[in-house]
Structure 1
């Protein structure tokens, strides 16, 4: 989540942003220390969320299989509920559900025997006991249909990402707790009421949130906000030991490390994209070996610039005439004078800016 830099921070070798004598370090100083970032521009933005301050948080994207221009974006207002937006950014429905934080979805999931778009969000209403809120997306009515609220375990729910396993199609939800614990929940979607059970837990040392799973490879990526990026084996019987990827070193990635997304290519290649929230940027890493590839920011254009991104999402392929190569959606932490919202970026514009195509 977006948050003020602390009043006093011990400066580590990673050159994390700090404040001294109660004075916040200006973001311009953080930008000056970070590696250069290319500029891209958003092509559209969503209707602002209904509540003020730090409210919008995390998006998910459903791609229409036959008419990409009718694709939909789901986005949380963590103080009020969850929105559905069309490809112009217009809010087409809203489901009240206070304190939903992160959201993810998977299409073509068997829910009670019917192929559905499953949407799962982390539920923070009870900060002492984490839960997951399940919905289906009615793609014709363009609205969410509440399905169930599943208790997960002690702790404050924060991050959420899904994995649909190749072969058997089983769906797992990874709930990232605010203290860095990660609970893997196997979802049972057979019968009138879904259930879930925690099949294992993993742990990072400090506050974590953003996560994403590569369905092709069964690898889970998690952002530990002040430390950097980690990779886990997503299999229930896999190793619980993470592998370090990008560091929050104040150069390629400026704390907080926040939302994550994957740009897949082939059987196992592609990119990992991370929100470098501290300097309003995004960092790209090669999935194969974690190599840093470059950074970009979303600058002013016909749509205003983006600051302090929490959640983000990317879906490749045709998503209509404005996004023929894919849609990248980010939360905008400062949409003044309006409340926060989400910005739409053509993925082709990012690749062009970073000279990756």
Structure 2
């Protein structure tokens, strides 16, 4: 090989190494634009714990949406459930240690409700949107992180696009249990759950279309409303009863006219302080932040916060969230917020995605004087 060829060969190798390095950075690091989008939000909190990462590659967008199950006999044995949209469901204790992993399909969102009548028993039910089977998967939630499959059949969605967001609702009027399911195309379905031979079945009772991509769902059981996030439009509030109107009310301060909001709108959760009052929390994925609204009235916007580095790494690009008002020990005296972490770091090293636990007391201190 002559000198000219050597120089060309070496230049080609160096260029290839540079390209690999750049591509690696693009894959392994959050986008600079998104990071800067939330810098003006000065309210910050830190995580008290984090879960075991999901069993997927660090470059996979896999963890998505959490739920929280409260053990009423011993709250310190409560646990969280997290979806892995590339493989299943996992349960975690209050320290974040994985208890069990259920490889039952590509689970996108999950939610739960207590006290469903199944025969002579009352059981707690978890629903998950299963993208592998285009269906609603149902489980009985038991102690110590155990989930038991409970659907009487494959409950197949009638939506044209793949199943995506999901939330549960228990009607204060009738005591009936429902699952709200949506798709990337903006389709929404409401399914009523009922017992069938010691299993749980469902029937479709309402369907409509919002017209743009949806995902986050949070139902306010006491007030009979359901919030659905249109990812590039804002949060829309609907009557949650199956005979209610499908004309929604846009939460005005949930749009990008609010400088603290930056699409996509992803997870939604409700923190109750009594039967009417409390907070609606939304993850604003584009600004790595979380918006807090009043639960009551017109959902007045109270402000936003970010989760930054502490004993655990900060949180970026969150999908799903969940919150509980039940005290869970000294770290969570007023309950906790659980959020998906889109970029999970162990020191400086990117690792697989997981969920972070944040004390609600720390969040409430930021906004209580604005109510």
* Structure whose residues are more often helix by fraction: 2
1:151 alignment counterpart: 156
Q: Which structure would you say has the larger Rg?
A: 2
- Count of matched residue positions in the alignment of Structure 1 and Structure 2: 328
2:245 alignment counterpart: 239
1:211 matched to 2:217? The reply is yes
Of residues 286, 290, 298 in structure 2, which corresponds to 1:282?
290
1:254 alignment counterpart: 262
Distance 2:270 2:74 in 1: 23
* Structure whose residues are more often strand by fraction: 1
What is the CA-CA distance between 1:355 and the residue it aligns to?
4.1
What is the CA-CA distance between 1:65 and the residue it aligns to?
1.2
| TM-score, scaled relative to structure 2 | 0.85
1:104 matched to 2:111? The reply is yes
1:180 alignment counterpart: 186
Distance 1:25 1:94 in 2: 34
1:340 matched to 2:340? The reply is no
Q: Is the 8 A contact 2:273 2:325 kept in 1?
A: no
Q: Is the 8 A contact 1:152 1:197 kept in 2?
A: no
Query: What is the root-mean-square deviation of aligned Cα atoms in Å?
Result: 1.6
SS in 2 for 1:301: coil
SS in 2 for 1:351: helix
1:63 matched to 2:70? The reply is yes
Which runs of at least 4 in structure 1 moved beyond 4 Å after TM superposition? none
Unaligned 5+ segments in structure 1 are 1-23
What do the CA deviations read for 1:51-83 (whole angstroms, capped 9, x no partner)? 121000000001111321111100011111100
Q: Is the 8 A contact 1:228 1:253 kept in 2?
A: no
1:308 alignment counterpart: 317
Distance 1:82 1:179 in 2: 24
Unaligned 5+ segments in structure 2 are 1-30
2:303 alignment counterpart: 294
**For residues 1-357 of structure 1, what are the structure 2 equivalents within 5 Å?**
26-31=33-38, 36-52=41-57, 53-126=60-133, 130-139=134-143, 141-148=144-151, 149-154=154-159, 155-245=161-251, 246-249=254-257, 251-287=259-295, 288-336=297-345, 337-356=350-369
| TM-score, scaled relative to structure 1 | 0.88
Distance 1:229 1:286 in 2: 13
Distance 1:28 1:78, change over 3 A: closer
What is the CA-CA distance between 1:202 and the residue it aligns to?
2.3
Q: Is the 8 A contact 2:65 2:83 kept in 1?
A: yes
